[in-house]
Structure 1
Amino acid sequence: MRLQGLLFSFMMGIIAIVHLYLYMLWLTLQIFYYICQSVYHSIFGLHEKEVAGEIVLITGAGHGIGKELAIQYASLGAKVVCLDVNKHTNEETANQIGKNACAYQCDVTKREEIFALAKKVKKEVGDVTILVNNAGIMPCRAFLDYTADEIEQIFNINVLAHFWMLQAFLPIMIEKNYGHVVALSSIAGIAGFPNLIPYSASKHAVRGLMDAIDNELRVTNKEKSQINFTTIYPYMEDTGLCKKPKINKMLKAFLLLSSTKDTAAQIIKAQRQNIRRKSIPSFWLSLVALVRLLPENAQISVTDFIDSGIEPS
């Protein structure tokens, strides 16, 4: 009897090893397939889905990247919902676009306002199918010079607003199993910049939020999720937020401020191609990943060599 038990345990162990081997083989084949797919797409490009007829809601549409996103989405045939706390500039954006845009004033730090707005947009425009969480602020100073109110405001706008917007607009996307969420993080949310510590922390939080919610919907959906998530990691943008950029003269050609027009075009292209993560300029994510493989002191040497960022204002 004891011999039979030992034999049974041995056989079960062999079966478990075979199963593990097969799973590892299948995983290896999947990895190889996706590497080949990535190479193919790098050479021939990705298909860009149509956005004509989609309802695109953009926060912070009154100026900068948000305004340019609204203009470019509308030019592609989308119905654009412009959202901003500044009523005047927001309406200017919508008026500049014309019939394909409408403007709503809303403070994205207030959850109740967002939920009331969601009901109003659904009734007056329709169900939002593309949500772009763009609104953000970037006060720049040494860490100990920030006030408690300033730090709270940074997180209210740059992080918590993403939660409230998702809670308000994601349920209908889940119900219909259709939609796309775009969020603006930052290279500062990956690398961490001096004089931007609360901002860097808030953008790191956006990165974590987007990665986690993407994974949650993927593993919990009974059918394959058709809701896509795109996180954008800009470096330094010419929006007026970078008041005192510090750029290494030797690397100036690679580290110039990106224009809002070009940045918006790259964001829309990434969304249309269902790209999960994209940096602007595009080399930054690969560069950061590569540097992270180096010893810590070597990483510091690379950071000191780049020697760029933002001075306190």
Structure 2
Amino acid sequence: MNFFLETLKVIVLLVYYLLESLVFLVVPARKKNVSGEIVLITGAGSGIGRLLAVKFASLGATVVLWDINQEGLKCTVGLVKETGAGRVHSYVCDCSKRQDIYRVADQVKKEVGDVSILINNAGIVVGKRFLDSPDSLVEKTMEVNTMAHFWTYKAFLPAMIAANHGHLVSIASCAGLCGTSQASDYCASKFAAVGFAESIDIEMRSLRKTGVKTTIVCPYVINTGMFDGVKSKWPRMIANLDPEYVAERIVSAVRQNQEVLLMPRIAYLLPFLKSFLPVKALVLLLEYFGLDDMMNTFKGRPKKE
């Protein structure tokens, strides 16, 4: 009897959750108020991190900016102050070093307070073939793109759990859903970031800490300079993403407690196709869309940046 009742309950809830998701596709969920929240953004000295800082500050949040580039931080702070809303604090932090993360995290907790929205945005890309990638850069890619998430969660998650309130945002990549050539370390780091965020989300649910939300963001190439030189084979179908659009979508996803955000929308087909297509068929599609060798034209940001 218990087996029957539990199975019936699962079936009913599955149907309910599916219908709920369909409704939210037509009628978006109500956006939560982030005014007064303390939002920490890593990699805030440029690109998406800078845009997110400005957008969250304009909504009345206190933004805490981390970056290894002090000049970049100063520029972001200036842009945030121009909004005239929210407060801004900046810290130079090397997200490839665990002890630096813990040290600066302690400063933030003492000087600003408990972080309630954590956005792991800092990332690097090497863009070389596997055997041409220096060991030191492979290690740094994993440290910044993956391991930093472990240390920031350890630093700020306890307070979120204690209050049963918070939001963990992982800026991953479509490269965390499907491998591509000349990005083995980058893909590995993003696959790991996605898996880590999913695991922590399940852990929070098992602990009944439903007030601690998770958003995993997997965008295609964004025109921030990080992937300069990479161009879509069919730009009308899969175009490089506008940074302003991406930042706006991320803020909306956080405010609506959206668990997963893939950009562009066609990217939602990728996990589905991988689940049943033969490998040769999947590779054929990757070749057709030019995703198998998209890094061949990779240049990246100029070294002076």
* Higher-Rg member (1/2): 1
Alignment RMSD (CA, Å): 1.4
Match of 2:228 in 1: 243
Map Cα deviations across residues 152-208 of structure 1 (whole Å, 9 max, x no partner).
010111111111111111111111111001011111111111111100000000011
CA contact (8 A) 1:136 1:157 kept: yes
Query: Aligned letter for 1:115?
Result: Y
The aligned counterpart of 2:212 is: 227
Moved over 3 A (4+): none
What does the per-residue CA deviation read over 1:20-42, in whole Å, with 9 as the maximum and x for residues that have no partner? 22222111111111111111111
| Aligned counterpart for 1:115 among listed residues 102, 106, 116 | 102
Question: 2-side partners of 1:180 and 1:261: how far apart?
Answer: 22
Structure 1 unpaired stretches of 5+:
1-17
Cα distance in 2 for residues equivalent to 1:283 and 1:75: 30
Matched residue, 2:112: 125
Offset at residue 297 of structure 1 (A)? 2.4
Partner SS for 2:217: strand
SS at match of 1:92: helix
| C-alpha separation in 2, matches of 1:271 and 1:121 | 22
Alignment partner of 1:85 is 2:72: no
Which residue pairs with 1:41 in the alignment? 24
* 8 Å CA contact retained: 2:232, 2:240: no
User: Does 1:62 pair with 2:49?
Assistant: no
Percent same amino acid among aligned pairs? 36
Letter in 1 for 2:207: T
1:208 to 178, 190, 195: 195
Structure 1 residue 296 displacement after superposition? 2.6
Q: Which amino acid aligns with 1:62?
A: G
| 2:45 aligned counterpart, secondary structure | coil
Report how many aligned residue pairs link the two structures.
Answer: 292
Q: Contact 2:177–2:270 at 8 Å: present in 1 too?
A: no
Q: Please list, as runs of the form range in 1=range in 2, the aligned pairs for 1:1-313 lying within 5 A after superposition.
A: 18-98=1-81, 100-221=87-208, 224-248=209-233, 251-308=234-291, 309-311=294-296, 312-313=298-299
Task: Out of 290-299 and 59-68, give the one that drifted further.
Answer: 290-299
1-structure distance, mates of 2:36, 2:290: 45
- What is the SS of the residue equivalent to 2:224? coil
The aligned residue for residue 9 of structure 1 is: none
Shift of 1:264: 0.7
State the AA in 1 paired with 2:108: V
Match of 1:4 in 2: none
Alpha-carbon shift at residue 19 of structure 1 (Å): 2.5
2:177 counterpart SS class: helix
Q: CA deviation at 1:45?
A: 1.2
